[in-house]
Amino acid sequence: MKIGFLIIDMQAIHLQGIEKKVIDRACEYINYVADILRSKSHVIIHIQDIEGILELNKDLYSTIPEVQIKDTDLVLTKEFSNAFWRTELDQILVDQGIEFLIISGNAAEHCVLFTYNGAVERGFKPVILQNGVLSTYSDAIASMYRDRNLISYPAIQYLI
């Protein structure tokens, strides 16, 4: 089984209002899981929301340096909350033979949730990375963990 790992909207512009230590903790989980998956040639996709990007604020739309991006990783831009909407994500996953998706990033109540739902609608099997999701609303994270499929990093190690 080939796994896809989506890292959504880990950009300075979208992380405003979230404590640095909370961001750092999520990045630790995201980087650890990405390294595990890379070691077995699974696909890592960094998704960047570029809605509202201008030449003046372009730097704020880059993935934060705390998230490691390797040469083998893919980077995809989007302009809507659902990373599948009007992007090549669906085709990339099909071309790579991916059915199982691990989803992480920001924001639990918007882009992570909508991408999760978009994956389900398209026949993929998504899970949320425990401790790998951010939001300015802690109840949104709790709700996501309660209402969606969740996976921890030890389970990922076992899977691969």
Beta-strand ranges (E) seen in 2-84 are 2-8, 43-49, 74-78
Confidence of residue 113 (pLDDT cuts 50, 70, 90): very high
pLDDT value for 59: 85
- pLDDT of 44-86, one tens digit each? 999 999 998 888 788 888 999 999 999 999 999 999 999 999 9
∠ CA 94-61-63 to the nearest 5 degrees? 60
Say which CATH number the domain at 7 has: 3.40.50.850
Backbone angles phi, psi at 57, to 5 degrees: -115, 15
- pTM score, whole prediction: 0.96
Give how many domains the chain has, as a whole number: 1
pLDDT value for 1: 87
pLDDT value for 70: 98
Q: Which domain holds residue 99?
A: 2-159
Q: Mean per-residue pLDDT for 95-121?
A: 97
Q: How many CA atoms lie within 13 A of 8 on its CB side?
A: 32
Q: Per-residue pLDDT for 103 more than 90?
A: yes
pLDDT value for 57: 83
Q: State the Cα–Cα distance between residues 12 and 66, nearest whole angstrom.
A: 11
DSSP β-bridge partners for residue 125: 100
pLDDT value for 100: 98
**112 touches 106 (CB < 8 A):** yes
pLDDT value for 60: 83
Task: Tell how far CA 14 is from the center of its chain.
Answer: 13
